[in-house]
Amino acid sequence: MSSVRQFEALEPEADNLASIAIDVDKSITQAVDTNDPPHASGMLFARKTSRVALRVKGRILFVDLADVIAVKAEGNYVSLERRSSAYILRGSISEMAKKLEPYGFIRIHRSIMVNGSLVEEIQPQLTGEYRLRVSGGRQYTVTRTYKRNLRFLAQLWLGTEGFCC
């Protein structure tokens, strides 16, 4: 059974599978606007992290985005991939890109985003594409359309003239 058919079979249970809430800044603003004690809102500012809340099978899970290696499109769903697990969320890769780019994720393929802080190596291929390796050894292909996004992997490129992007 193809992955698209598998997801279509799960569609009636989509609410139980997962949903994502990434808007950290909005939740901080809402907390400050309420009548919470000063220490509560101050604690929120001190704890501004890149954690996301995922609703999975009737539970809310908190996942640190630093642990997410890649986001892959799979039909009407996306998969947030960690080293040891993955979470299936209903939505498009474009929606995820808008939400995750401020947290260091870069689009490398029409159906893949990677966590830029986990990229360890890129290698040019004869086809004009690149091979990208992340910590843990997983490898991904960077297509020609998205190779310009590789320049966001580092603030300074030394000795790489003519090599990349």
pLDDT 10s digits, 75-97 = 999 999 998 899 999 899 999 99
Q: Is the pLDDT of residue 35 over 80?
A: no
Top-confidence residue, 32 or 95: 95
For residue 157, the model assigns a pLDDT of 76
Tokens describing residue 124: 């040019």
Residue 148 makes CB contacts below 8 A (sequence gap 6+) with 165
DSSP result, 19-31: EEE--HHHHHHHH
pLDDT band at 154 (very low <50, low <70, confident <90, very high): confident
**Long-range CB contacts for residues 89-96, cutoff 8 Å, separation at least 24:** 89/17, 89/18, 89/19, 89/20, 89/54, 90/14, 90/17, 90/18, 90/19, 91/20, 96/20, 96/71
For residue 71, the model assigns a pLDDT of 97
- Write down the H helix ranges in the chain: 3-10, 14-17, 24-33, 38-46, 93-100
Cα 165 to Cα 7: distance, rounded to the nearest angstrom:
35
Top-confidence residue, 148 or 34: 148
Average pLDDT estimate for 120-134: 94
